[in-house]
Structure 1
Amino acid sequence: MKKTNASILIIDDQEDILFASKMLLKKHFENIYTLNNPKNVVELLAKKTIDVVLLDMNYRIGFEDGKEGLYLLREIKTLSPKTVVILMTAFGKVETAVEGLKAGAFDYILKPWENEKLLSIVKQAVDKSRKERKKSNDIGIVDEFFVGNSDVIKKAYSLADKVAKTDANVLILGENGTGKFVLSHHIYCQSERKNNPFIHVDLGSLNSNIFESELFGYAKGAFTDAKIDTPGRFEMAQNGTIFLDEIGNVPLHLQSKLLQVIQTKTVTRLGESKARPLNVRIITATNADLKQEVTDKNFREDLYYRINTMEIILPPLRERDEDKIPLAHYLLQKMMAKYGRDEITFDEKALEQIEKHAWNGNIREMENRIERAVILCENNRITVSDLDLEQITTYEENQDDIQLSAVEKTAIEKILFKNNNNISKTAEELGLSRGALYRRLEKYNIN
């Protein structure tokens, strides 16, 4: 039997799981890699192209909430967007896996698994990864992003281009959804460090209990589950750039530890006394008003000035009226490529509504609306109804899950109807496995 030329990475802290899955998968796929320490995934993804990751959701003894797995999932999707992730979880933890599906996982498998089921899911995931890579190559959007022509955004990017050539610390300010990650990566790509690591850390989703071990690393035996010496994110970014997103969310008692690293340009792993030298460019971002946070004694003033050598403000979309229509066309092209659709256009009323809408959720809101429209539109024409803008006057982030669930349910019902309730055809068109589709049918009570 000829093996499929694909690279699979298995991440689990149990050696028997790694061994069993590797033995099974290496009969069918060319390259199988295993990691028993999830922190090494950043280094591996920087060196190799991985098609599919099988990711366990729990790594610390006594913790089974899946938060580490969800955090790793987001990191993998950030570092390697075309890599498809399958979650592995124990029976009874399905609700956590479903949260992972919302965060971008392809599917999940229960442990212990049935070999045929695992093989089937991995093969589907490999196919999806290959299709995604081909789409990106065909339309040439791997490194493209939208800037715009409004004076306010051109000013922000002009400042970014000037500071990129230096090693100055940069603070990016802006509302949620304005493109802070995109700007940080642009600065990195224009810098002298572009051939070295770019490490993204979402401080907003980082539990304070693992803040130090995650950022600074730890020595073997530093705590109960510290099995081997492990570098932190700062060390992983050596000679490159570290992007600390949502820095305004760091608790006050941990800000001093972060300040010490920035001031001394050294890092000390938990359980060690030796300080290790750092050569890292630091970019931070937040949607908070840090000056007010300093005044309110919620953010250290000395830390604020350390990270703020250069401040760049990203304007909200409501201040970029001339960019709304070009951005909508750019996002439409992006979503057409994602879903394999051709020649979709906006009707005139849809464009009028796009121009009038406040877009309080900024670029992220527009992207969600246009993705919904691409899924739902008929006759390759997007209407106001497809965008669902008539009902949306404000954007509340805590409604994201509700909105996305409604979009997903509508899309499934529409495609199921089109395929005369054929599960296989519907699953294929949605890019899901049959099992994943069945779970969604049950979740949304679709008969």
Structure 2
Amino acid sequence: MRKTAASILIVDDDDDILFSARISLKKYFTSIVTENNPKKINNHLTKNTIDVVILDMNYRIGFEDGKEGLYWLKNIKEVSPETTILLMTAFGSVNLAVEAIKKGATDFILKPWTTEKLYAAVNAGVELARSKRKNTQLETIQEHQDKEFHKKTEHIIGNSSAMKSATNLVSKVAPTDANVLILGENGTGKFVFAKEIHLQSSRKNYPFIHVDLGSLNENLFESELFGYAKGAFTDAQKDTLGRFELAKGGTIFLDEIGNLPLHLQSKLLTVIQNRKVTRLGEGKERDLDVRIICATNAPIHKMVDEQTFRQDLLFRINTIELNLPALRERADDISLLAAHFLHKLTQKYRKKINGYSNEALKAMENYHWPGNIREIEHIVERAVIITDNPKIEVSDLHFSTKKIDVNLGGSLNLEDSEKILIQQAIQKHQGNISRAAKDLGLTRAALYRRLEKHQL
């Protein structure tokens, strides 16, 4: 018989009872812990995830009123609300046990017990604890999910050899639990591919949690990703799950991982390497059961050479590396994408438009698409809104024709190029950070970091 993965804590001042209960349960559950001093209950609860506590009602000789049991019952409920509490009591204390159930205990076990009844009560308690944790996870997901999580994922569209190669790799890697690193320019569909890997995996019925590391405040990194305990900092009013715990059983997608500072990379590496997470302000390690997918538009291998990205972290996240082609490298797919977005957007805006003129299609196929798929959707949306023609014409398409004149004085230094591009983007958009960031293919947070780096 295969043991159930669960942690059971038995608390009683009678060592014979502890020994007997442990012998009865150890063949059914993976972890049985015994404790004869109720004052040490909190140590067990804070160090480990306890599914069920079997709690005696009386601990002092001559006192049979059960007040100590009720006290520790209340304590367990406060410290670990998802833990199931079963009471052990003698036959004459059934009324007391009923009172305790009204105060939060799940069931009671009469002494002496039979192994069958003890197992049935504990097994039901384990299932209840798991159900509570799952409900907490789902409730927190509902509270904390950003709009992008709920947004319907675009289909992967394309018949080019580059896209067929990418989708073929997805079909091979999705059924595994291998960590995947998705590389590609902004707008190439990294989020869409990450979601597709999740949907083709055995984890598809569990959460898909998207974390934009580029926009995550450094000071909130640990609390957001790893969670925090009540009282860990001023505004920590309750125990809160981090993104890793929210993704339990499913997939966590760490987007823009190339923007993560070195000192935070080491913290992420520890979690990925050990497959355990510790909430801020708490000492208890919690096991992680998540699939990890990362993505970046940064030249991450070059960053390793420059020692701005940890090589050991790269080894951990790129068991499989998926490179997404830029739209200019898959020109055969432009007409397919244009048709897809036209169909989608004419429905959204309730307009009847019968395709594109030949000239418009040719113009789209000849354009270099620096913003990739995101840009083609933007241009088609604008055309659908403004056109009065039965078909989309060239005049309806607003391509970005202005090229930035980058004068480097003969220098091809990457840092110099980045600084000048940022300066010209801010100048072009008259100091509007949001528009400049969008033009550069960055988040506002990522652009602010680069402004600070270049002292602009």
Find 1:223's aligned residue among 198, 212, 233.
Answer: 233
State the Cα distance separating 1:76 from its structure 2 match. 2.6
Query: CA 1:148–1:45 in structure 2 vs 1: closer, same or farther (change >3 Å)?
Result: farther
Find 2:339's aligned residue among 315, 329, 333.
Answer: 329
Q: How does 1:342-361 map to 2 (within 5 A)?
A: 342-361=352-371
State the Cα distance separating 1:147 from its structure 2 match. 2.3
Residue type of the partner of 1:316? A
Q: How does 1:102-113 map to 2 (within 5 A)?
A: none
For structure 1, the 5+ residue unaligned runs are 1-39, 48-52, 54-71, 82-141, 406-447
Q: How does 1:12-411 map to 2 (within 5 A)?
A: 43-44=138-139, 75-81=145-151, 145-389=155-399, 391=401
Say if 1:358 and 1:394, in contact at 8 Å, map to a contact too: no
Q: What SS is found at the alignment partner of 2:289?
A: coil
State the Cα distance separating 1:153 from its structure 2 match. 1.1
- Greater C-alpha radius of gyration: 2
TM-score normalised by the chain length of structure 2: 0.58
State the Cα distance separating 1:44 from its structure 2 match. 3.9
Say if 1:331 and 1:367, in contact at 8 Å, map to a contact too: yes
Residue type of the partner of 2:293? I
Say if 1:42 and 1:79, in contact at 8 Å, map to a contact too: no
**Cα distance in 1 between the residues matched to 2:356 and 2:404:** 22
State the Cα distance separating 1:157 from its structure 2 match. 1.0
State the Cα distance separating 1:345 from its structure 2 match. 2.0
In the other structure, the counterpart of 1:125 is none
Say if 1:174 and 1:180, in contact at 8 Å, map to a contact too: yes
Residue type of the partner of 2:146? I
Query: CA 1:245–1:306 in structure 2 vs 1: closer, same or farther (change >3 Å)?
Result: same
Deviations 1:163-201 (A, max 9, x none): 000000000000000000000000000000000000000
Say if 2:156 and 2:193, in contact at 8 Å, map to a contact too: no
Deviations 1:132-166 (A, max 9, x none): xxxxxxxxxx6651320111111011001100000
**Cα distance in 1 between the residues matched to 2:163 and 2:403:** 24
State the Cα distance separating 1:402 from its structure 2 match. 5.7
Query: CA 1:284–1:323 in structure 2 vs 1: closer, same or farther (change >3 Å)?
Result: same
Q: What SS is found at the alignment partner of 1:367?
A: helix
**Cα distance in 2 between the residues matched to 1:280 and 1:157:** 22
Q: CA RMSD in A?
A: 2.7
State the Cα distance separating 1:266 from its structure 2 match. 0.4
TM-score normalised by the chain length of structure 1: 0.59
Q: What SS is found at the alignment partner of 1:282?
A: strand
Query: CA 1:299–1:354 in structure 2 vs 1: closer, same or farther (change >3 Å)?
Result: same
**Cα distance in 1 between the residues matched to 2:241 and 2:391:** 51
**Cα distance in 2 between the residues matched to 1:305 and 1:353:** 42
State the Cα distance separating 1:343 from its structure 2 match. 3.1
The share of aligned pairs that are identical, in percent, is 55
Residue type of the partner of 2:310? R
Query: CA 1:365–1:269 in structure 2 vs 1: closer, same or farther (change >3 Å)?
Result: same
Query: CA 1:270–1:46 in structure 2 vs 1: closer, same or farther (change >3 Å)?
Result: closer
Residue type of the partner of 2:150? S
Q: What SS is found at the alignment partner of 2:253?
A: strand
**Cα distance in 2 between the residues matched to 1:307 and 1:222:** 30
Deviations 1:97-143 (A, max 9, x none): xxxxxxxxxxxxxxxxxxxxxxxxxxxxxxxxxxxxxxxxxxxxx66
Query: CA 1:186–1:46 in structure 2 vs 1: closer, same or farther (change >3 Å)?
Result: same
Q: What SS is found at the alignment partner of 2:165?
A: helix
Q: What SS is found at the alignment partner of 2:214?
A: helix
Residue type of the partner of 1:350? A
**Cα distance in 2 between the residues matched to 1:185 and 1:371:** 24
**Cα distance in 2 between the residues matched to 1:212 and 1:382:** 49
State the Cα distance separating 1:45 from its structure 2 match. 8.3
